[in-house]
């Protein structure tokens, strides 16, 4: 990742200003998309001058990359669907429920999640795509860690393909959110998470068919 904002040089006040700018940009992107968000609107929403904003971000691209980093961190932290320790069936169900709850609270409107940023930027902006890909791969690694712990404890069979299973969970979340936000209904996300979790459960030793429970 290239250096976009020289954070080493920032004072506490500078860091606060920089964060305020990123937060304003995140909110605007959630409502209008990246293409629909102008630097001037970010400046006004954050209450900073043009030269202040430029001091922290010398281009819209640099600002958007900071938004991506922030949203990738949020997805892996407490913010987005909680991912503390996805190391039990209950934790995975709670993670899915948190994602569903989040969409319901937002009335399935667009947001500034990593998936939304990917949808808008992956085709047209190679630097952003790389940053978002990094975020997805870190996210997938966290899911995999939880599944690994389950397999180590014998809650998943020894031959479970953890790579495939962790991608299946993350793609279910992303595809479900994409469809739910497009049709503005929670049903696709509920369906995708039910399917993915049933698939995970089917790797428990002696599992019954996920369709029969």
CB of residue 204 to a copy of itself, shortest distance in Å: 8
Q: Do residues 117 and 68 lie in contact, with contact meaning Cβ atoms separated by under 8 Å? A: yes
End-to-end C-alpha distance for the chain, whole angstroms: 46
Within residues 106-165, the interface with a copy of itself by CB under 8 A covers 109-111, 115-116, 118-125, 129, 132-133, 136-137, 157, 160, 163-165
Euclidean distance between CA atoms 145 and 23, whole angstroms: 30
Binding mask 5-24 for a copy of itself (x = CB under 8 A): --------------------
CB of residue 15 to a copy of itself, shortest distance in Å: 28
Q: Do residues 156 and 147 lie in contact, with contact meaning Cβ atoms separated by under 8 Å? A: yes
State which residue, 17 or 116, has the beta carbon closest to a copy of itself: 116
Q: Do residues 117 and 80 lie in contact, with contact meaning Cβ atoms separated by under 8 Å? A: no
User: What residues contact 48, with CB distance under 8 A and at least 6 apart?
Assistant: 17, 20, 21
Counting runs of H as helices and runs of E as strands, what totals does the chain give? 9, 0
Among 15, 16, 36, 49, binds a copy of itself (CB under 8 A): 36
Residues that bind a copy of itself (CB under 8 A): 30-36, 109-111, 115-116, 118-125, 129, 132-133, 136-137, 157, 160, 163-165, 167-168, 170-176, 178-179, 181-184, 187-192, 194-196, 198-199, 202-203, 207-212
């Amino acid at each position: 990742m290239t250096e976009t904002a020289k954070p080493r040089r920032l004072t506490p006040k500078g860091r606060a200003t920089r964060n305020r700018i990123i937060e304003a940009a995140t909110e605007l992107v959630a409502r209008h998309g990246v293409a629909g968000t102008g630097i001037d609107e970010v400046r006004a929403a954050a209450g900073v001058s043009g030269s202040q904003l430029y001091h922290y971000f010398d281009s819209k691209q640099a600002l958007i990359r900071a938004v991506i980093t922030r949203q990738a961190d949020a997805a892996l932290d407490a913010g987005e669907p909680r991912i503390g320790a996805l190391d039990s069936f209950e934790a995975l169900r709670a993670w899915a429920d948190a994602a569903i709850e989040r969409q319901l609270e937002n009335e399935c409107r667009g947001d500034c999640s990593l998936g939304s940023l990917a949808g808008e930027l992956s085709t047209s902006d190679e630097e952003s795509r790389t940053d978002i890909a990094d975020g997805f791969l870190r996210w997938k690694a966290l899911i995999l860690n939880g599944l690994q712990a389950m397999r180590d404890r014998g809650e998943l069979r020894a031959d479970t393909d953890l790579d495939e299973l962790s991608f299946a969970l993350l793609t279910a979340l992303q595809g479900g959110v994409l469809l739910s936000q497009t049709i503005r209904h929670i049903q696709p996300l509920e369906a995708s998470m039910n399917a993915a979790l049933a698939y995970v459960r089917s790797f428990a030793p002696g599992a019954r068919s996920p369709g029969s429970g």
